[in-house]
Structure 1
């Protein structure tokens, strides 16, 4: 049997990782400025993380969600305190796509509506069809019977207000920072006005923090730069530092009933252990603050490079846009300088390093980047 190809592959096999470094099967070292799509939040093979997971594996990896799992409670309490959402509840699943699907489902149950507002260049996951073939009124929300999506320009509040005025929108879903869309950030004023408009229309505001959350922006969640409190917040990626886990933070305004949401693997003992370890490391090592500090430094230094068209981002979520395609730049960074970077579209390099990135590692990237640009 052959693998179904998901991405075009670099001819590199990564066999090991430590901190912000990865090593291929030949022992060659690479500086990791992509973190496996923003997944590696506290660094590869962090000793505390490894210790906690090893201990849990020796005891219990998984059991059913029909029995008490104190690790789920501990995770919810720690996440609530660190994020500032202690009064919200936490639904645990396995991925960002699941988190967004369940958030949309909750919004539709809550409002009885089917229409959704999203934004140009948004990305919220790859799943959608499973519940459409499920014949069970307890889990098939109105949105699943067929729904309309209005794709509106980011930061255009008047377009949002016009769509909301019809009274048929169950949810607005927006990323804290658009990742795949090119590291495009909603303006603080826009988010504030969006929050108020949703409240006035009885529409649920969903903040997709799957990529931009967990300290990456220099605050625990990117939307906190705007000082708003969404109704639902979706998380994944950096939540488990490589172990698959996702979640939905749910406002107290939602009334849940048994069977409305469910999961087999979500919130397993091992997944919760990984997520708790991540929160412990983020707190003890001040990684949110580090993301802000090193991110600001990178953006400041990158702004001095005249070949760059535009620099966008918050914290350690940075987009570097050029007039021309960036494929050659990325390839030369990888194969000549041994530095992993990502991309958004054709012309934008995307930096999503572990939150423990040091200034010296940032300088290694900046020096290598400038050398590559001089010869492109």
Structure 2
């Protein structure tokens, strides 16, 4: 059987990782400035992470959500304390797309509406509702194109207010920082106006923090830079440091009903062990603070490169926009300088390294980038 060929692949076979470095099957070491789409939060093969999940799988890897699993409550307690949302409720699932699916379902259960506001260049996942609120017609199949969504320009306050004033909007879904869209930041003024307008019209505000959350921006959630509290927050990627997991943080205004949501694998014992280990390491090693410190340094230094048109981002979620396509630059970084980076569109290189990236490793990346751009 062949693999379904939907991924263009680099000719590199990564077989080992440690911290912010990975190695291929030939023993070549690479500096990892991408973390597998922001998934690697605490670093590859962190000893505490490895020990925690190894001990758990040796005892019990999985049982169903029809029995008590105290590890789920431990995740909720730890997460609530670290992120500042201990009064919210937590529903655990398997992925970011699934988190957004459930968030949108909850919003529609709440107010009975079906229309959703999303934004230009938004990316929220590839499943039914998640892909419909994603602003990329190339990946929206006809069966997903159900007319639920109105896309608005990001940071256009007047357009947003006009749509919400129609009184029929179920939910607004917005990324804390747009990732796939090129590291675009919603302004504090826009987010505060959006929060107020959603309150006025009984519209649910969903913050997609799947890529921008879990400390990446230098605060636990990127929206916390703007001084608002959403009704629902979705998380995934960094929550399990590579173990497939997602979550929905749900405000007290929502009342759970038996059978309303469900999942087979979500919140299983092994996933919870991974999530607890991640929170342990984030707290013990001050990784949110490190992301702010090292990220600020990287952004300041990248702005000194005359070849880069614009640098955008917060913490360790950084976009470098060039005037020309970046394919060759990215290829040189990978194959000549041995650095993994990401991409957004044709002209933006995206950096999403593990949150443990050190100042020395950041400077090493800057040196290797300079070697390519000179």
| TM-score (structure 1 length as normaliser) | 0.95
Partner of 1:177: 177
SS of equivalent residue, structure 1 residue 97: helix
The answer to whether the Cα contact below 8 Å between 1:42 and 1:278 also exists between their aligned partners in 2 is yes
The answer to whether the Cα contact below 8 Å between 2:101 and 2:129 also exists between their aligned partners in 1 is no
SS of equivalent residue, structure 2 residue 91: strand
The answer to whether the Cα contact below 8 Å between 1:291 and 1:355 also exists between their aligned partners in 2 is yes
Partner of 2:111: 111
Change (3 A) 1:17 1:145: closer
Partner of 2:138: none
Whole-angstrom CA distance in 2 between matches of 1:147 and 1:59: 47
Alpha-carbon offset, residue 146 of structure 1: 4.8
SS of equivalent residue, structure 1 residue 265: coil
TM-superposition CA deviations, 1:279-322 (whole Å, max 9, x none): 01000000000000000000000011111110000000000000
* RMSD, aligned CA: 1.4
Alpha-carbon offset, residue 5 of structure 1: 2.1
Partner of 1:211: 211
SS of equivalent residue, structure 1 residue 158: helix
Whole-angstrom CA distance in 2 between matches of 1:330 and 1:146: 37
Whole-angstrom CA distance in 2 between matches of 1:334 and 1:361: 16
Equivalent residues, number: 362
The answer to whether the Cα contact below 8 Å between 1:114 and 1:146 also exists between their aligned partners in 2 is no
Partner of 1:362: 362
The answer to whether the Cα contact below 8 Å between 2:22 and 2:31 also exists between their aligned partners in 1 is yes
Whole-angstrom CA distance in 2 between matches of 1:123 and 1:163: 20
Whole-angstrom CA distance in 1 between matches of 2:32 and 2:207: 27
Alpha-carbon offset, residue 256 of structure 1: 1.5
Partner of 1:99: 99
Partner of 1:267: 267
Partner of 2:239: 239
Partner of 1:88: 88
Whole-angstrom CA distance in 2 between matches of 1:168 and 1:6: 37
Superposition misfits of 4+ residues, deviation over 3 angstroms: 144-147
Alpha-carbon offset, residue 255 of structure 1: 1.3
The answer to whether the Cα contact below 8 Å between 1:114 and 1:147 also exists between their aligned partners in 2 is no
SS of equivalent residue, structure 1 residue 110: helix
The 5-angstrom pairing of residues 188-203 of structure 1 reads: 188-203=188-203
Partner of 1:138: none
SS of equivalent residue, structure 1 residue 15: strand
The 5-angstrom pairing of residues 36-185 of structure 1 reads: 36-128=36-128, 146-185=146-185
Whole-angstrom CA distance in 1 between matches of 2:15 and 2:178: 30
Alpha-carbon offset, residue 129 of structure 1: 7.0
Alpha-carbon offset, residue 148 of structure 1: 2.0
| TM-score (structure 2 length as normaliser) | 0.95
Whole-angstrom CA distance in 1 between matches of 2:13 and 2:169: 46
The answer to whether the Cα contact below 8 Å between 2:237 and 2:245 also exists between their aligned partners in 1 is yes
Whole-angstrom CA distance in 1 between matches of 2:339 and 2:303: 20
TM-superposition CA deviations, 1:199-220 (whole Å, max 9, x none): 0110000000000000000000
TM-superposition CA deviations, 1:219-270 (whole Å, max 9, x none): 0000000111100000000000000000000000001101110000000000
Partner of 2:18: 18
Whole-angstrom CA distance in 1 between matches of 2:194 and 2:167: 15
Gaps of 5+ in 2: 133-143
TM-superposition CA deviations, 1:78-97 (whole Å, max 9, x none): 00000000000000000000
Whole-angstrom CA distance in 1 between matches of 2:298 and 2:255: 44
Whole-angstrom CA distance in 2 between matches of 1:178 and 1:100: 15
Partner of 2:223: 223
Partner of 1:343: 343
SS of equivalent residue, structure 1 residue 280: helix
Whole-angstrom CA distance in 1 between matches of 2:340 and 2:269: 32
